[in-house]
Structure 1
């Protein structure tokens, strides 16, 4: 289920997501959004609505001090440690063959875009865009050829393309950007 697509443009992260909730062959269009702000962070999730609920309502991102640590180091240490604690406390994190498993989500902050994988590794693409979910490949294809258009329209186009080709992606689409977040 899901497609979350994001673009970094002019030091702003734009991120959008679909509204599909999928269980097997059943699909529900949900009102609760897969993309939201939490403090200065813009987050878009796939994997589980429960994980998204925890990241939105139970997660308190630790304060970032740029003079103490670079942003990537903060993301892979302080931020992820707080995410792991939140997901464990919320009953979402699982242990599979001795490995702790979370979920997949994108994080936009301070003009940068990070992808968190289910093993909690944090990636930052060499490209100024990313996508996750079952519509990921379609969205990435659209994003790779639309670099000359408005970033919000790029996100809409990427999500529409994913909806056209993936049974697990449905509108309406919600698009936010980091200029909308609370800066702390």
Structure 2
């Protein structure tokens, strides 16, 4: 249970996350954060703290492409292959009906915000914002409605909306940008 919300503004990405760790009816406000930077990448995860720990501490993204227009292909092929390898190596990836499954997370890089789904598909919203986790619908609505706010304030408002309308989202909230 989580909410990760991100906005692209003026060539930068702003990514925020909550602090809830939820298992059934139990809630722990975690000290370890769901959003972080690793090199030029901002990452915000849902699905599993273990997956987030692997992405933060054991994942080495391949070098970014230098060729203009190559970022989309890089994310779909090179980046995802490296994520799959790290998750598999650290015992977190799953296999169901011969299909590999990971988790869901947002990635900000080079002024773009990507969503990586559990089946490793990569998406980039035309809206310039996105959210994942159990509070994502409330967060996306708030991001849409708060276009007049500065980017970090927009992300924080989205997280507050998710906290208000989802039992699985709790502050404190952390926002990173790059």
- 2 CA distance for matches of 1:150 and 1:30? 27
Cα distance change of structure 1 residues 38 and 57 upon mapping to structure 2, 3 Å threshold: same
The residue correspondences of 1:65-76 to structure 2 (distance < 5 A) are: 65-67=65-67, 70-76=70-76
SS in 2 for 1:127: coil
* Cα RMSD, aligned residues only: 0.9
* 1:134 pairs with 2:131: no
* 1:151 pairs with 2:151: yes
> How far is the alpha carbon of 1:69 from its aligned partner?
6.5
Aligned equivalent of 1:32 = 32
Query: What TM-score do the two structures reach when normalised by structure 2?
Result: 0.98
Query: What are structure 1's unaligned runs of at least 5 residues?
Result: 179-184
- 2 CA distance for matches of 1:109 and 1:60? 14
> How far is the alpha carbon of 1:154 from its aligned partner?
0.5
SS in 1 for 2:28: strand
Cα distance change of structure 1 residues 134 and 65 upon mapping to structure 2, 3 Å threshold: same
- 1 CA distance for matches of 2:155 and 2:34? 14
* 1:61 pairs with 2:27: no
Query: What are structure 2's unaligned runs of at least 5 residues?
Result: none
- 2 CA distance for matches of 1:165 and 1:125? 23
The residue correspondences of 1:105-144 to structure 2 (distance < 5 A) are: 105-144=105-144
* 1:45 pairs with 2:34: no
Give the paired residue count: 178
- 1 CA distance for matches of 2:68 and 2:5? 31
* 1:2 pairs with 2:19: no
- 1 CA distance for matches of 2:16 and 2:68? 31
SS in 2 for 1:130: strand
